[in-house]
């Protein structure tokens, strides 16, 4: 490949990525690595973990990761723009409580769910307004709204729990598609996934999302409406989180103020594991979805091996750290090897970021 | 990105100003040496963020005390007022130093849990161990865990948010695996250690004194020492700090070690204070520590703020929690109030920053 770049220097593009042949560009990516790892873990689990291929494993696995799958979709787009949303789990909690409170006061489940979705939209709009139009840092804003939304949820319901949901609706949340083992919640997820894939990878809006993440001033000058894009993303995140909260409530049949506490870190861990750069501008949805599935499969397999959830936490943490450290280490190693130095482009963002390693 | 567009004033309302008789605020902003030292110090304090947060704290305490005398004027009330915030205060000081360098440390809650359990474990296995040895051990373990964070962030060239999110899981997982279903109960701990959590010297609890000493040392260091000032320089522009020849990596490493060490100390003090260690020690406290720092005026993108502010922020968060029931609000709403406070604090920061930038630009145009 070094011959290709020296033969016609004038016509060669300067981006490292384009100096590699197509198959390399497709196969040697973070996303492929995550997917390969996921497949490897699944194959290993089927072969070695008793009951992993049992009838209930897939159903519970998918039901467990469904909220994270759902929220990871908008979260990916938000992180690609270089922002972050820590308030998603609190929005889940708030929509769960609203569903419970409204249902308790005699509203039907669909009407209550609609209002809960609306509340999610308002929460997302508040985040989006403060971040996109007032220009506040998203990390600080969403730490604030994390406390605010959770506080409203806990304030509304206290330590009570609303559990009297009609069976029809709980069955909907726990049921499967026909006779298969795939839970019903995968249908809305699939619809949303298609929507977000089209939005991010096949629309001008999506190109704008990447533009903003790489350089928001340049994006502004190329005609991307930076503020509106960010605002829309936070609104989407609010609505999807509220939907995940409704699913969570109906699945466990209980609306509590502290539902889904700590989910925000799980979602972010999955998204980052899936190859999205926290600096923005890099990442694809298929990698993220593989990341979510990877975490789900690992915890499911370990649970079947009756390893405690603590070990799962350690593994997820190690994976997360390794996934961000590896490119730097490889880049550093590559630059140390003189023979490979010309061939291997250094990993994305090598040492120069030590200083700007920010939040 | 929006910082740049406020540098250019669109209008010039104060054009009639003579540069000789500028207002005090403008002098402080543009040329502080024009004011006399006492006046400068006085204006700085009067205009500081720390003072306004402190006034909010005073207002909360006065309100709560007027409703319920014993909020402050009872032996218990006074002790709780000082004692409850001291653990969060330690974490907020460490977190503040890290945020000043434009990083963040999310793993403090897990570090705290790990050393809280370590404390109990040490006393279980070596009953005669002196208290000081245990405190030092926790400090060292915390520092070691912080060193891991710092080394990965400073030398790995990866964002602190991701690394410390990862170590949050890892450290908590290690603690839970190690502890299993064990719990540390007050009965397992020697009496003198538990007394550390409740003893007072001249009505001031020992834990609070420890926290204040740490605060004073760190605050003084940040304010006067070369290393401390370099932390601000790194936070306000990391690239410029590298070009200027500052030891960026070493300083960032030191900030994380400090944050880890303080979290380690906080874990030991937690055990002394509450006597029991269960699996959910310090769960979610990292966000409270960030919140305390942000409320106290430390900008989330580094380079400004003081640990004094972070300490007052920690006091405010904990005190509001205790004051709400006396004010007739169910304490379930505490988190909502905290959230509103954080949002208010960052909106205020933004407004002040815009105003200051405009003033600077105006005075530049005058001269």
Least confident stretch, A55-59, A188-192, A291-295, A339-343: A339-343
Q: Quote the minimal CA–CA distance from B206 to chain A in Å.
A: 31
Task: For residue A193, name the pLDDT band (cuts at 50, 70, 90).
Answer: very high
Asked if the C-beta of B363 comes within 8 angstroms of chain A's C-beta atoms, the answer is no
**Residue B338 with chain A: CB contacts under 8 Å:** 147-148, 151
Pairing verdict, β A255-256 and B200-201: unpaired
Tell me the average pLDDT across B258-266.
Answer: 93
Residue A12: is its pLDDT beyond 50? Answer: no
Task: For residue A337, name the pLDDT band (cuts at 50, 70, 90).
Answer: low
Residue A347 lies in a domain: no
CATH value at residue A196: 1.10.3470
Torsion, CA B55, CA B60, CA B63, CA B68, rounded to 10: -140
Tens-place pLDDT, residues A112-130: 999 999 999 999 999 999 9
Q: Quote the minimal CA–CA distance from B165 to chain A in Å.
A: 7
Lookup: tokens for B130: 């002196």
Report whether A58 contacts A304 (CB < 8 A). no
Q: Tell me, what's the pLDDT at A14?
A: 53
Lookup: tokens for B356: 């200051």
**Whole-angstrom distance, CA of residue B80 vs CA of residue A76:** 44
Q: Quote the minimal CA–CA distance from B105 to chain A in Å.
A: 10
Per the model's pLDDT, the better-predicted residue between B84 and A190 turns out to be A190
End-to-end CA distance of chain B: 27
**Residue B165 with chain A: CB contacts under 8 Å:** 265, 268-269, 272, 317, 320
Q: Tell me, what's the pLDDT at B26?
A: 65
Asked if the C-beta of B247 comes within 8 angstroms of chain A's C-beta atoms, the answer is no
Residue A345 lies in a domain: no
**For chain B, domain boundaries:** 50-63+72-366
Lookup: tokens for B275: 């006597």
**Residue B104 with chain A: CB contacts under 8 Å:** 139, 359
What range defines the domain where residue A145 resides? 39-338
Torsion, CA B299, CA B300, CA B301, CA B302, rounded to 10: 60
Q: Tell me, what's the pLDDT at B29?
A: 67
Report whether B326 contacts B71 (CB < 8 A). yes
Q: Tell me, what's the pLDDT at B7?
A: 43
Lookup: tokens for B299: 């900008």
Q: How many CB atoms lie within 10 A of CB B366?
A: 16
Q: Tell me, what's the pLDDT at B173?
A: 84
DSSP assignment of B23-84: -HHHHHHH-GGGS-HHHHHHHHHHT-HHHHHHHHHHHHHHHHHHH-GGGTSSHHHHHHHHHT
The shortest CB-CB distance from A146 to any of B242, B252, B287 is to B287
Task: For residue A5, name the pLDDT band (cuts at 50, 70, 90).
Answer: very low
Asked if the C-beta of B289 comes within 8 angstroms of chain A's C-beta atoms, the answer is no
Residue A14 lies in a domain: no
Report whether B91 contacts B293 (CB < 8 A). no
Report whether A235 contacts A124 (CB < 8 A). yes
Ranked by mean pLDDT, the top range of A182-196, B159-173, B328-342 is A182-196
Burial (CB < 10 A; 0-12, 13-18, 19+), residue A178, is exposed
Residue B42: is its pLDDT beyond 90? Answer: no
Q: Tell me, what's the pLDDT at A332?
A: 72
Between chains, do A328 and B156 touch, taking CB under 8 Å as contact? Answer: yes
Report chain A's mean pLDDT, rounded to a whole number: 81
Per the model's pLDDT, the better-predicted residue between A313 and A76 turns out to be A76
Residue A283 lies in a domain: yes
Alpha helix ranges (H) inside B225-333: 226-236, 238-243, 248-274, 285-295, 307-326
Task: For residue A18, name the pLDDT band (cuts at 50, 70, 90).
Answer: low
Residue A45 lies in a domain: yes
Percent of chain B with pLDDT over 70: 91
- Among B357, B82, B108, B40, smallest CA distance to B210 is for B82
Which runs of E-coded beta strand occur in chain A? 161-162, 255-256
**Residue B339 with chain A: CB contacts under 8 Å:** 144-151
B50-63+72-366 CATH fold? ABC transporter involved in vitamin B12 uptake, BtuC (1.10.3470)
Ranked by mean pLDDT, the top range of A18-32, A174-188, A209-223, B174-188 is A209-223
Q: Tell me, what's the pLDDT at A343?
A: 44
**Residue A148 with chain B: CB contacts under 8 Å:** 335-336, 338-340, 342-343
Tell me the average pLDDT across B147-169.
Answer: 85
DSSP label of A345: P
Residue A81: is its pLDDT beyond 60? Answer: yes
Residue A256 lies in a domain: yes
Between chains, do B241 and A350 touch, taking CB under 8 Å as contact? Answer: no
- Among A154, A86, A87, A146, smallest CA distance to B324 is for A154
Residue B288: is its pLDDT beyond 50? Answer: yes
């Amino acid at each position: 490949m070094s011959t290709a770049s020296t033969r016609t220097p004038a016509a060669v593009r300067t981006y490292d990525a384009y100096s590699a042949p197509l198959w390399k560009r497709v196969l040697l990516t973070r996303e492929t690595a995550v997917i390969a790892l996921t497949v490897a873990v699944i194959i290993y689990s089927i072969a070695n973990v008793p009951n992993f291929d049992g009838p209930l494993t897939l159903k519970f696995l998918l039901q467990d990761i469904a909220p994270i799958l759902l929220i990871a979709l908008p979260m990916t787009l938000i992180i690609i723009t270089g922002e972050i949303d820590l308030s998603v789990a609190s929005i889940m909690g708030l929509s769960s409580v609203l569903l419970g409170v409204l249902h308790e006061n005699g509203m039907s489940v669909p009407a209550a769910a609609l209002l809960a979705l609306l509340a999610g939209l308002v929460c997302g709009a508040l985040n989006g307004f403060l971040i996109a139009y007032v220009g506040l840092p998203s990390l600080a804003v969403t730490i604030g709204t994390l406390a605010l939304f959770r506080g409203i949820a806990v304030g509304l319901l206290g330590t009570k729990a609303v559990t009297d949901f009609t069976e029809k609706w709980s069955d909907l949340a726990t049921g499967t598609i026909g006779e298969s083992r795939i839970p019903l919640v995968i249908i809305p997820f699939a619809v949303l996934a298609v929507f977000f894939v089209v939005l991010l990878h096949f629309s001008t809006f999506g190109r704008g999302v990447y533009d903003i993440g790489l350089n928001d001033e340049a994006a502004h000058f190329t005609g991307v409406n930076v503020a509106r894009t960010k605002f829309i993303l936070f609104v989407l995140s609010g609505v999807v989180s509220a939907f995940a909260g409704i699913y969570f409530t109906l699945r466990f049949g209980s609306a509590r103020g502290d539902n889904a506490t700590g989910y925000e870190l799980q979602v972010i861990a999955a998204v980052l594991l899936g190859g999205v750069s926290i600096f923005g501008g890099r990442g694809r949805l298929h990698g993220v979805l593989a990341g979510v599935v990877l975490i789900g499969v690992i915890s499911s397999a370990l649970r079947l091996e009756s390893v405690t959830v603590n070990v799962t936490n350690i593994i997820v943490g190690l994976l997360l750290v390794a996934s961000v450290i590896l490119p730097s280490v490889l880049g550093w190693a590559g630059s140390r090897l003189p023979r490979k130095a010309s061939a291997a482009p250094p990993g994305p963002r090598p040492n120069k970021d030590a200083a700007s390693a920010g939040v | 990105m929006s910082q740049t567009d406020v540098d250019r004033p669109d209008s010039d309302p104060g054009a009639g100003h003579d540069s000789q008789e500028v207002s005090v605020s403008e002098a402080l902003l543009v040329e502080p040496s024009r004011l006399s030292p006492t006046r400068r110090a006085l204006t700085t304090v009067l205009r500081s963020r720390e003072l306004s947060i402190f006034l909010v704290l005073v207002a909360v305490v006065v309100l709560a005390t007027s409703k319920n005398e014993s909020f402050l004027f009872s032996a218990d009330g006074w002790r709780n007022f000082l004692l409850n915030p001291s653990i969060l205060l330690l974490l907020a000081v460490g977190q503040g130093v890290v945020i000043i360098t434009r990083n963040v440390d999310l793993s403090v809650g897990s570090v705290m849990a790990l050393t809280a359990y370590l404390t109990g474990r040490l006393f279980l296995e070596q009953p005669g161990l002196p208290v000081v040895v245990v405190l030092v051990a926790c400090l060292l373990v915390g520092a070691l865990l912080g060193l891991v964070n710092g080394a990965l962030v400073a030398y790995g060239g990866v964002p602190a948010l991701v690394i410390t999110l990862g170590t949050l899981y890892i450290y908590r997982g290690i603690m839970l695996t190690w502890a299993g279903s064990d719990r540390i109960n007050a009965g397992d701990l020697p009496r003198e250690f538990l007394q550390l959590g409740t003893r007072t010297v001249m009505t001031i609890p020992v834990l609070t004194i420890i926290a204040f000493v740490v605060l004073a040392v760190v605050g003084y260091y940040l304010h006067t020492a070369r290393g401390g000032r370099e932390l601000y320089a790194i936070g306000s522009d990391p690239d410029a700090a590298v070009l200027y020849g500052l030891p960026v990596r070493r300083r960032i490493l030191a900030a994380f070690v400090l944050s880890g060490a303080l979290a380690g100390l906080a874990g030991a003090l937690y055990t002394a204070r509450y006597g029991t260690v269960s699996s959910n020690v310090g769960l979610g406290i990292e966000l409270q520590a960030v919140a305390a720092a942000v409320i106290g005026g430390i900008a989330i993108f580094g380079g400004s703020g003081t640990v004094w502010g972070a300490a007052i922020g920690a006091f405010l968060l904990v005190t509001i929690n205790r004051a709400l029931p006396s004010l007739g609000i169910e304490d379930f709403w505490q988190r909502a109030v905290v959230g509103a406070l954080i949002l208010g604090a960052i909106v205020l920061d933004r407004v002040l920053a815009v105003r200051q930038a405009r003033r600077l630009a105006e005075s530049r145009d005058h001269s």
